[in-house]
Amino acid sequence: MIIENQIVPYHCSELPAGPWLVFAPHADDETFGMGGTLLKAKAAGLSVKLVIMTDGALGGSQAELVAVRRAEAHKVASYLGISDVKFLEQPDRGLHFSDTLCNQISAIITASAASTVFFPGVYEPHPDHRSTAMLVWEALNRMDVPEPQAVAYEISVQNPVNSLVDVTAEMPGKKAAMELYLSQLAENNYSEIVQAQNKLRTFSLPVQVAYAEGFYHFSREERAGSLFAAMHARLQALLAQ
């Protein structure tokens, strides 16, 4: 019988090696998903760059929403210590696979010299989240340079994780960063939702850990196949026990 700590970690992990490159489907996903960890990276002096995949045009009815969300992203990036933000301006809810986009992402990863590349978990419900994961995964597999560490992060739902980062001390700062996305908080109470998810991630952790963010670090063996195959293999292994 498989035991609990083979499904979810029972301890917190250290930060992976920098520099980091984070791919976010929309402006806000990087903060909702891993804002506490980004604040830890800032405190540790790690270089972090951010790529926002879509224009976010469907994230509300506010006038000039694309420009508003871009301005919010710049404010948040400054707060989180992100040194560079790149906007790929793909259509919101219309992010699809293409060789051209994949090659563009590969070029961005190569130019960044990132040691760790973050992208959303493959089981996220929003199609742009899943498309971002697939695009970055394929882009990584096309690179001619040594592979960076591939890490998936959670945004709106729990995904398979094998690493938890304690963000208890960073939660006030993460909340402040989330509140800079005023256009999105007007659409839903995302701040409370995210805090609840980060609280739920402490289920397997010591009592002094009040908030945690979940990640999946892909092994070299998993990287040899497709993204869905890697996740499916993990789930099948758990079910087979």
Instruction: Give the CATH number of the domain where residue 57 resides.
Output: 3.40.50.10320
Size of the chain, expressed as the number of residues it contains: 241
Q: What residues contact residue 148 under an 8 Å CB cut-off, 6+ apart?
A: 21, 109, 114, 115, 116, 117, 140
Separation between Cα atoms, residue 108 and residue 11, nearest integer Å: 33
Q: What is the pLDDT of residue 228?
A: 66
Q: What is the pLDDT along the chain (241 residues), one digit of tens a residue?
A: 677 887 899 999 999 999 999 999 999 999 999 999 999 999 999 999 999 999 999 999 899 999 999 999 999 999 999 999 999 999 999 999 999 999 999 999 999 999 999 999 999 999 999 999 999 999 998 887 667 999 999 999 999 999 999 999 999 999 999 999 999 999 999 999 999 999 999 999 999 999 999 999 998 888 877 776 777 676 666 555 5
pTM (whole model) above 0.85: yes
Q: What pLDDT sits at residue 120?
A: 98
pLDDT at 200: 98
Order of strands, edge to edge, in the sheet holding 84-90? 84-90, 48-54, 20-24, 116-120, 149-153, 212-217, 163-166
The predicted pLDDT at position 75 comes to 98
- Assigned domain for 6 exists: no
Looking at residue 126, its pLDDT comes to: 97
Q: What is the span of the domain harbouring residue 78?
A: 14-239
Structural domain includes residue 4: no
Question: Is 42 inside a domain boundary?
Answer: yes
> What's the pLDDT at 240?
54
Measure the CA–CA gap between 191 and 200, rounded to whole angstroms.
14
Q: How many distinct structural domains can be found in the chain?
A: 1
Q: What per-residue confidence (pLDDT) applies to 236? A: 63
Residues 6+ apart with CB under 8 A from 109: 21, 117, 136, 139, 140, 143, 148
Q: What is the pLDDT of residue 234?
A: 67
Q: Is residue 18 part of a domain?
A: yes
